[in-house]
């Protein structure tokens, strides 16, 4: 095991740090993946497949995330180490629970590779992800239901941001929903810690449709406001079933944003011209038309979305401020979790597979 992996996972190499932080989880590494029965594939994570499985000892249903090792010269992917470190220190009802880490023998036909061990992360199993539900034609969320999900998402993000963790990939397929109405933030493979002494980070993070304008224009010093922007984009999608900015590449993405929110000015976004790619924007000047784009949703929802989607990152609310917005405190009030509809288990991966099967069937008939 590498030192980095040992440090991330709280094995013997990390005892000193654990004594100082007793709330951190430790994993035994003593179990083998053969102690779990694989049921079906439910996803593709940042760095490996995700399977629904059954613990043969307890009978508990879990999610097994296989860490893809074949690309790694050093043995263990940085993204996986990062996720393990994050999840070891985060405990919150709206963050997915990593229960254990187990190993397995690689079954690869290549003899050299077969001796390598495989690593699996064992998570609590959650019935759905938001994209899987949104992609199901028969499902439409009520505004009260969206409020319940948004409230939980912002609560989980507030907890992360208070602990100086940026998620950096908030989107529907990384938000899990169980049949008790609980939302859990998952996939911390792109997450990282930050602090007010801004460090330089990569701006090639966050799935394109949910990526903020400062990242698209080359900012490499940023904080929680990049996650807040993603929440604004997702909120529109939950309320309308359509993405607000479905760009095909970075140039189209920034153009779509400015077509709706208006071109930036020194008033609306002080200092934006100093970003690396600001020069790309010479030419067309757009007036803001967010209200027009969001005509189908209520004025208070539009007001919150306008706050979350401020071009100037400094003007976006914190997750805690957003939770205080009138939208959450006016009718229709958030649906109590126990009253939310229960759905058949649906993840984005399965929804795509079902669409493929249906297309195959239709093309043959």
Q: What pLDDT is recorded for position 79?
A: 74
Tokens standing for residue 210: 């949910």
What is the average pLDDT across 299-327? 98
Q: Measuring CA to CA, which residue among 178, 239, 245, 164 is closest to residue 206?
A: 245
Q: What is the CATH number of the domain that holds 8?
A: 3.30.200.20
Any domain includes 357 = no
149 and 112 housed in the same domain: no
Please give the annotated binding residues for ATP, written as ranges. Answer: 65
160 and 232 housed in the same domain: yes
Residues in the chain: 365
Q: What pLDDT is recorded for position 146?
A: 98
Torsion sign, CA atoms 32, 9, 99, 25: positive
Catalytic pick from 169, 178, 227, 321? Answer: 169
Any domain includes 364 = no
What predicted TM-score, i.e. pTM, was given to this entire model? 0.85
Q: What pLDDT is recorded for position 349?
A: 60
60 and 169 housed in the same domain: no
169 and 315 housed in the same domain: yes
Q: What pLDDT is recorded for position 145?
A: 98
Q: Please count the structural domains in the chain.
A: 2
Lowest mean pLDDT among 63-77, 221-235, 312-326: 63-77
Any domain includes 45 = yes
Any domain includes 52 = yes
Q: Could you confirm whether 169 is annotated as catalytic?
A: yes
133 and 22 housed in the same domain: no
Tokens standing for residue 189: 């493979």
For the chain, the first-to-last Cα distance in angstroms comes to 53
- State which residues form the domain around 26: 3-125
180 and 257 housed in the same domain: yes
Q: What pLDDT is recorded for position 13?
A: 29
179 and 79 housed in the same domain: no
Q: For 42-52, how does the pLDDT look when each residue is reduced to its tens digit (9 = 90+)?
A: 887 666 788 99
7 and 97 housed in the same domain: yes
Q: Which residue has the tokens 């406001």?
A: 225
Lowest mean pLDDT among 128-132, 189-193, 265-269, 346-350: 346-350
Q: What is the CATH number of the domain that holds 157?
A: 1.10.510.10
Any domain includes 10 = yes
What is the average pLDDT across 8-35? 53
Tokens standing for residue 217: 């224009």
Q: For 130-153, how does the pLDDT look when each residue is reduced to its tens digit (9 = 90+)?
A: 999 999 989 999 999 999 999 999
* Mean pLDDT score across all residues of the chain: 84
Confirm if 183 and 176 have CB atoms less than 8 A apart.
Answer: yes
pLDDT at 18 over 70: no
Please give the annotated binding residues, written as ranges. Answer: 65
pLDDT at 364 over 70: no
Tokens standing for residue 337: 């979790």
Q: What pLDDT is recorded for position 279?
A: 84
Tokens standing for residue 9: 């996972």
Any domain includes 348 = no
Any domain includes 353 = no
209 and 316 housed in the same domain: yes
Rounded distance between C-alpha atoms, residue 230 and residue 86, angstroms? 20
Q: Measuring CA to CA, which residue among 40, 7, 41 is closest to residue 21?
A: 7
Residue 229 Ramachandran class (φ > 0 left, ψ -120 to 50 alpha, else beta): alpha
Any domain includes 310 = yes
Cβ neighbour number for residue 304 with a 10 Å cutoff: 21
What is the average pLDDT across 278-283? 78
Lowest mean pLDDT among 10-24, 275-289, 295-309: 10-24
Domain limit, last residue, from 74, 91, 125: 125
pLDDT at 214 over 80: yes
Q: pLDDT band for position 22 (50/70/90)?
A: very low
């Amino acid at each position: 095991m590498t030192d980095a992996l040992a440090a991330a996972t709280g094995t013997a190499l990390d005892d000193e740090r654990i004594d100082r932080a007793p709330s951190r989880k430790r994993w035994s590494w003593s179990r083998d993946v053969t102690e779990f029965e694989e049921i079906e594939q439910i996803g593709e994570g940042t760095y490996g497949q995700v399977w629904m499985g059954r613990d043969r000892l307890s009978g508990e249903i879990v999610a097994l995330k296989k860490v893809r090792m074949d690309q790694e010269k050093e043995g263990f992917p940085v993204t996986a180490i990062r996720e393990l470190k994050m999840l070891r220190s985060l405990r919150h009802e709206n963050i997915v629970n990593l229960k254990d880490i187990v190993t397995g023998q690689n079954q690869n036909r290549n003899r050299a590779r077969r001796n390598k061990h495989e690593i699996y992360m064992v998570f609590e199993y959650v019935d759905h992800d938001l994209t899987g539900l949104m992609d199901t034609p028969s499902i439409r969320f009520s505004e009260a239901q969206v409020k319940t999900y948004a409230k939980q998402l912002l609560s989980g993000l507030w907890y992360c941001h208070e602990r100086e963790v940026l998620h950096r990939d908030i989107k529907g397929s990384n938000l899990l929903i169980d049949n008790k109405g609980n939302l859990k933030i998952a996939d911390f493979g792109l997450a990282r810690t930050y602090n007010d002494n801004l460090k330089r980070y990569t701006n090639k993070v966050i799935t394109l449709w949910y990526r903020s304008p400062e990242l698209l224009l080359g900012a490499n010093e940023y904080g929680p406001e990049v996650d807040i922007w993603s929440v604004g984009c997702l909120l529109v999608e939950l309320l309308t079933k359509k993405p607000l900015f479905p760009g095909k590449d970075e140039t189209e993405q920034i153009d779509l944003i400015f077509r709706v929110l208006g071109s930036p000015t020194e008033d609306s976004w002080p200092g934006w011209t100093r970003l690396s790619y600001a020069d790309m924007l010479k030419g067309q000047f757009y007036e803001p038309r967010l209200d027009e784009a969001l005509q189908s949703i209520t004025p208070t929802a539009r007001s919150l979305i306008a706050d979350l989607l401020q071009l100037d990152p400094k003007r976006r609310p914190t997750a805690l401020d957003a939770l205080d917005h009138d939208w959450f405190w006016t009718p229709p009030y958030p649906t109590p979790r126990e009253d939310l509809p229960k759905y058949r288990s649906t993840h984005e991966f399965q929804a795509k597979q079902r669409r493929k099967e249906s297309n195959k069937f239709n093309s043959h008939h």
